[in-house]
Amino acid sequence: MIQFLQAGGPFMILLVLASIVSLTFIIERGLALRRQRVIPDPVADAVERCAGREGLSALHTLCRQQPSTLSRLVLTALEHLDWPKAETVDCVQTRARQEVVRLERGLVVLEIITGIAPLLGLVGTLHGMITLFGDIGSAGLGDSNVVARGISITLNTTLMGLLIAIPSLIAWSYFSRRIESFAVEMETLLDEFLRRQYRVAEAPPPPPARSRPPAGRPGGRRSGSAPVEPPPAPVQPAPTPLSGS
């Protein structure tokens, strides 16, 4: 292994440094993007169960006890529930963008290494070819050691660049998809949570109950009120006597 690295020439040093940086960020992002660090199951279950304002205090305490990406977003929503819904959604979206940037920290390094590692290997290849042809021109074609060293430099740097770029590309793609999946899941949880909370807050009050007449009083007449007298009967006129009787 040491001979392989030594035979790669000066560009192998840059490739080794790139491999160390890539491996460091792969391990760091792998630990940071665990589900329990982003969307803990207890917090997600509590958000789904919280249907009214009576469970907000317990949810706030749980988010404080289990810090995570979802917990910070829920705390932002809880702090602005007394605001209008549109403003609360804007605040949560702003904080969500910040959290996504935080989750993507380090992925840009993997992306850069994925691009430059093959290029460094290619530069090492060109350097090896130039060295090979220069030594062949000065020493002649009969010296096999000169030819072998030039080929070794060419192949080693090319292989090393690909060995660094391929795992970095796989890790970058995997972490990017994982972050996207987490973002969609958190967006769904918070959207449903805010809908439930503002639906409860904006629900109209129940109509007042209609008063029923007291039992035993037909017609619904209130106690203490004067009885209603019937109108007087019309007076019939007296019959007129016939004339000539």
Q: Of 168, 171, 131, whose CA–CA distance to 152 is shortest? A: 131
What is the Cα–Cα distance from 189 to 187, expressed in whole angstroms?
6
**Token pair of 114, please?**
């994925």
CA distances from 240 to 234, 236, 237 (A): 19, 12, 9
What is the Cα–Cα distance from 190 to 72, expressed in whole angstroms?
11
> What 3-state class would DSSP assign to 223?
coil
Residue-level pLDDT at 217: 52
pLDDT tens, residue order, the chain (245 aa): 777 776 667 888 999 999 999 999 999 999 999 999 999 999 999 999 988 778 899 999 999 999 999 999 999 999 999 999 999 999 999 999 999 999 999 999 999 999 999 999 999 888 888 877 776 776 665 566 667 766 767 788 899 999 999 999 999 999 999 999 999 999 999 999 999 998 876 655 556 656 555 555 555 455 455 555 555 555 555 454 444 43
CA distances from 63 to 37, 78, 83 (A): 12, 10, 20
Residue-level pLDDT at 210: 62
Residue-level pLDDT at 232: 57
Residue-level pLDDT at 244: 43
Name the strand (E) or helix (H) holding 200: helix 144-201
**Token pair of 37, please?**
């660090």
What is the Cα–Cα distance from 195 to 6, expressed in whole angstroms?
63
| Domain boundaries of the chain, sorted by first residue | 2-200
Q: Of 63, 39, 38, whose CA–CA distance to 50 is shortest? A: 63
